[in-house]
Amino acid sequence: MPATSSSYPGKIILFGEHAVVYHSHAIAIPVNQVRTTAVITPLIQYPPGSIEVSAPDINTKCRLNMLAETDPIGYAVRLTLQKLHVDKPPAFSIHITSNIPIAAGLGSGASVSCSIAKSISTYLGKPFSPVEISDIAFEVEKLHHGIPSGVDNTVIAIGQPVLFQHGEEIQSLQVGETLNFIIADTGIKAQTGEVVGSVRLRWQADPTRFDTLFQQIDHIVLAARDAIRIGDVETTGKLMLKNHQLLQDMEVSHPALDRLVETAMSANALGAKLSGAGWGGNMIALVRENALPPLENALLQAGAVRVIRTRLESSFEESHV
């Protein structure tokens, strides 16, 4: 069998994080400027069932059977083989690389799982569909996040911006005008599962208040969908800021995130908000193209450890996927 490779992007949430766990809507887009790649190489002289795993970004290099059952990479490999009904595949090595920052809300874990599932299924001659890949990544996400929303695995496996609601048919988005974004990383690592768990505890203690917050966010998401569809960038930006304020009320922001949001708005961003679980990770700002360089400089001076540009192109037709 020839060597096989597969690559998947990162992702970022534009609207709806946390509320989406409670059946509200969310909008997420792929971030193609950062990616994970998995390369499968045959091990001709090894016995069937031998699998070597190499992930230099996390200092992992070992046989598959040396990885714990709860190791995300090991679990993704085993689950893929299980779904393929393959007990002892022809021996192979899988080499995984990624330039997606870890624990920063950019979907690093889901991207790795998608790359693993696609590369192994293709190598064994039974390439999975995007839905099958998403399903595998979702199961692995449970190790990372406890109760995942399903957003990360969905948008990464499909590779296009989506309007997502758990348990409902996924919709790709019509985009009326190209949107330019800058993602700014605080450099502060936050475990999504811990933040999601903290919100759940506060929701259980005060369900009326948090249900109201979730409903307000849901209204913002649907209004943003409509604004993006008609190319109303000013309204889209204002809605981002409103979403951030509600996430602050939910106590998932962080002084570093708030500082980057304030810096972005002072540097002529149209809107800005935290993205992902919060307590660190990334902020995303909507900006006109001619304002990108000065905004990047301002965010770096305000403490961002890295910035990434990404775009939402105006060529998508809305459809069910």
Residues with a known catalytic role: 152
Spatial neighbors of 71 by CB under 8 A, at least 6 apart, are none
Q: Tokens 């039974």 label which residue?
A: 126
Give the separation between CA 151 and CA 277, rounded to whole angstroms: 12
Q: Which two tokens stand for residue 106?
A: 């950019």
Q: Please provide residue 155's backbone torsions phi and psi, each rounded to the nearest 5 degrees.
A: -70, -35
CA 69, CA 255: separation in Å to the nearest integer?
37
CA 129 to chain centre: 19
Cα 282 to its chain centre, rounded Å, is 11
Tell me the C-alpha to C-alpha distance, in Å, between residue 152 and each of 29, 54, 176, 293. Answer: 9, 23, 24, 28
Q: How many residues does the chain have?
A: 321
What is the spatial order of strands in the sheet that 282-287 belongs to?
271-275, 282-287, 179-185, 306-312
Q: How far apart are CA 187 and CA 254, in angstroms?
A: 12
User: How does 164-196 read in b/e, with b if 16+ C-beta sit within 10 Å?
Assistant: bbbeeebbbbbbbeebbbbbbbbebebebbebb
Find the angle CA(121)-CA(193)-CA(274) to the nearest 5 degrees. 100
Q: Which amino acid is at 15?
A: F
Q: 48 by DSSP, 3-state: which?
A: coil
Tell how strand 51-55 and strand 92-98 pair up: parallel
